[in-house]
Structure 1
Amino acid sequence: MVVALIIACEVGFWVLLALGLGARYLLKWRRTSVVLLLCEPVLELVLFAVTAYDLKNGAEPGWEHGLAALYIGYTVAYGHYTIRWLDGHAAHRLGGGPPPARPPRHGMPRARHEGRLWLRTVLGAAVACALLQGAVRYVGGDGDTSSLRSFQWTALRAAGIHGLIALTYLIWPKRAPAGTPTAEAGSVPKGRGEPRDQSRRCD
């Protein structure tokens, strides 16, 4: 049941996102889009509640509960980033707005960009580990919590591997081709505006 709900939450996320952006830029229903996008965090709350209820009813802690914690951690860390990125492209292609600024590709601006992404991964791992630790304490010493512990290490390893990859951009920064101007991280070419900053999964 938990696995099916994870899949449903992922499908629901993209459906609500498509409906929200479509309502905003195609139908010009801004308030409706806000309502649709505000429904996004409800999916994670439902997943969390069902997972806790499953454990409360005596379900043996398994990999599906660990996967649910990782999924919630990922959406907490990368949900806002995903919404903002897609909103910028939707505003350009559907709303006639300026092209969204691309992330830097070379030098220290690229290293800082990768570092910020890594911090999101650290946040996601921290959320997942906290949820898993709560599940371990909830189950107590009577149940087998080895699968929950293993997913904690999975979250930490993912953050560590991502950190090493991000570090390579700092130690060995990628050089821009000759004659290519470099831009600071987050800069926008002249004449182009930045996409509107949206709160996590909401207007």
Structure 2
Amino acid sequence: MLVTVIAACEIGFWVVLLAGLTARYLLRWRRTGAALLLCVPLVDVVLLTVTVIDLRNGATASFGHGLAAAYIGYSVAFGHSMVRWADERFAHRFAGGPRPTGKPSHGRPRTRYEWREFGKAAIATAVACGILLLMIVLVDDPDRTDQLQGWTARLGAILAIWSLWPITHTLWPSNPKKPRTQNAAKRMH
């Protein structure tokens, strides 16, 4: 059941976000759009509440409970940048805003970008592990929370793998792609 709630919350995130952006840019209802966008984090509150109530009512922690904690952690850490990403694209498409820039493709800007994203992943891991530990303490029954402890190791492994991107870009920064010249193109044929 909890995995269904997680899927519903993910859908709810995008529905509330789309409603807020539609109100802001298509209908020109600035205050309504802002209010809807402020409601996006409420999706996480709903998921956290359902998860805690389920555990407090005697459920044994399952994969879904750990996934809920991970979802909330990543939503907290990446949610703002996802909203900004969508807002930039809506503003460009429907309100004459500037073209979205996207992520840097090479050099120091790309390295800074990768470290910033890794920092968000570290925050997501910390929030998710904090929620997992909170659930373990609230339930206070090691037999019922064994699954949750395994999630801290999973999240740590994900973070360790994620660290490879900024490390790689730090040690071997990518260079800008050189435009192909006509002579090089002729030699290839």
- On whether the aligned pair clears a TM of 0.5, the verdict is yes
CA positional deviation for 1:78: 0.4
Residues 69, 128 of structure 1: 8 Å contact kept: yes
Provide runs of 4+ in structure 1 moved above 6 Å: none
Q: 1:114 — aligned with what?
A: 114
In structure 1, the residue matched to 2:68 is 68
Amino acid at match of 2:52: A
- Show the 5 A alignment for 1:10-29: 10-29=10-29
1:92 aligns with 2:103: no
1:89, 1:99 within 8 Å by CA — same for their partners in 2?
A: yes
CA separation of 1:15/1:141 partners in 2, compared to 1, >3 Å: closer, same or farther?
closer
* Structure 1 stretch displaced more, 69-78 or 155-164: 155-164
Q: What is the alpha-carbon distance in structure 2 between the residues aligned to residue 163 and residue 59 of structure 1? A: 35
Task: Report the aligned-residue RMSD.
Answer: 1.5
- Deviation of residue 142 (structure 1)? 4.8
Percent of aligned positions that are identical: 45
Distance (whole Å) between structure 1 residues aligned to residue 178 and residue 34 of structure 2? 45
Runs of 5+ unmatched residues, structure 1 = 180-203
Q: Would you say the 8 A contact 2:59–2:144 is kept in 1?
A: no
2:110 partner amino acid:
R
Q: Is the 8 A contact 1:75 1:124 kept in 2?
A: yes
Q: TM-score, normalised by structure 1?
A: 0.85
CA distance in 1, matches of 2:2, 2:178: 52
Q: Please state how far the C-alpha of 1:101 moved relative to its aligned partner.
A: 2.1
Determine the structure 2 residue equivalent to 1:123. 123
Structure 1: distance between partners of 2:67 and 2:177: 42
Describe how 1:38-57 pairs up with structure 2 within 5 A: 38-57=38-57
Shift of 1:144: 3.4
Provide the residue aligned with 2:160 in structure 1: 160
Structure 1, residues 55-82: CA drift from partner, whole Å, max 9, x if none?
A: 1111011111000000000100000000
- The amino acid that maps onto 2:74 is Y
Measured in 2, the distance between the counterparts of 1:66 and 1:89 equals 33
- After TM superposition, the structure 1 stretch with the greater mean CA deviation from structure 2, 99-108 or 113-122, is 99-108
**Structure with the bigger percentage of helix:** 2
Letter in 2 for 1:11: I
Structure 1's 26 and 56: CA in aligned 2 closer, same or farther, altered over 3 A? Answer: same
Q: Is 2:169 the counterpart of 1:169?
A: yes
- The whole-number CA distance in structure 1 between the counterparts of 2:60 and 2:126 is 23
Kindly provide the amino acid, as one letter, of the partner of residue 82 in structure 2.
T
Q: C-alpha displacement at 1:41, in angstroms?
A: 1.1
2:179 corresponds to 1:144:
no
Q: Is the 8 A contact 1:61 1:143 kept in 2?
A: no
Q: Quick check: 153-162 or 117-126, which moved more?
A: 153-162
What amino acid is aligned across from residue 49 of structure 2 in structure 1?
Answer: A
TM-score by length of 2: 0.91
Greater RCO between the two (CA within 8 Å, min separation 6)? 1
Amino acid aligned to 1:26? L
- Partner Cα separation in structure 1 for residue 9 and residue 115 of structure 2: 28
Q: Structure 2 CA distance, aligned partners of 1:97 and 1:142?
A: 53
